[in-house]
Amino acid sequence: MTPLPFIDLDFSAAATQAPDSPQHRWLIRHPDGSVASHSFSPPARRAEIASWYPGAVCEPETETPVLP
């Protein structure tokens, strides 16, 4: 299987959050190059995600505000 090309992702909104604040949505780049969006409830911290997906790069996705 051929790995997917590297995709440059914009995490500028997520960069303003605390480095290990709990998040519902995470973008995970797996060691094989695949990229997937994962949702967690309750929200998970980067350290937890890293322990569940060893070798993956984990970045929080921008949370979409929920309208009342």
Domain ranges for the chain, please list them. 23-68
Q: Is the pLDDT of residue 14 over 60?
A: no
Q: Rounded to whole angstroms, how far apart are CA atoms 60 and 22?
A: 9
CB 14 within 8 A of CB 60: yes
> Given pLDDT bands bounded at 50, 70 and 90, which one contains residue 4?
low
Q: Is the pLDDT of residue 11 over 60?
A: no
44 bridge partner residues: 23
Average pLDDT over residues 39-43: 93
CB 40 within 8 A of CB 12: no
SS3 for 35? strand
